[in-house]
Amino acid sequence: MKLCEEDKKLIRQIQGDLPISPTPFEPLARQIGWGEKEFLKRVKFFLRQGMIRRFGAILRHQKAGYLGNAMVVWKVPDDQTLRVSQAMASLATVSHCYLRPAHPRWDFNLYTMVHGRSEKDCRLVAQKISKETGIKNYRLLFSKREHKKSSMRYFESR
């Protein structure tokens, strides 16, 4: 599907931060001269077509008081990766879950990101996950600094 200039205007509006409002799409629609209903109808069309997969929110966990941030790396036996990765990915305490190939010098193959109010909280979360899944071989890698957190942007003027 070829996008017209009006579609590109809409995409520019929805790829940034949404206004904190009971009707966040209304001011975005107004900025490009559309009504809110027309705007939402087109967004829903893009969703049905698969052009937009989802709307996401980025939680700035440090600003929300979650100062602990750890990538927990797990050594999961190959015959257990499906069960364990599904179990870990379903936990509310896990924000990201990735299965990666192990390396001879780094034999961890499952990676989860956890957040807490402190490093101690992250350690407690990892201990609980370990107990729930039976995976005992893991390490916590704590973030020291966030370098970038942004989304792709399309149809920006150069």
Residue 103 in this model has a pLDDT that exceeds 90: yes
- pLDDT at position 61, please? 66
Nearest-CA neighbor of 139 among 153, 151, 121, 127?
Answer: 127
pLDDT > 70 in the chain, percent: 91
**pLDDT of 117-148, one tens digit each?**
899 999 999 999 999 999 999 999 998 777 76
CATH 3.40.640.10 corresponds to the domain 68-142: no
Spans of all domains in the chain: 5-49, 68-142
- pLDDT at position 57, please? 65
| pTM (2 d.p.) | 0.63
Query: What contacts 139, CB < 8 A, 6 or more positions away?
Result: 72, 73, 108
DSSP 8-class letter at 17: P
Relative to beta strand 138-142, strand 110-116 is unpaired
In degrees, rounded to 5, the angle at the alpha carbon of residue 96 between the alpha carbons of residues 127 and 57 is: 125
Q: H or E element: which one contains 110?
A: strand 110-116
Q: How far apart are CA 26 and CA 19, in angstroms?
A: 9
**Per DSSP, what are the bridge partners of residue 140?**
72
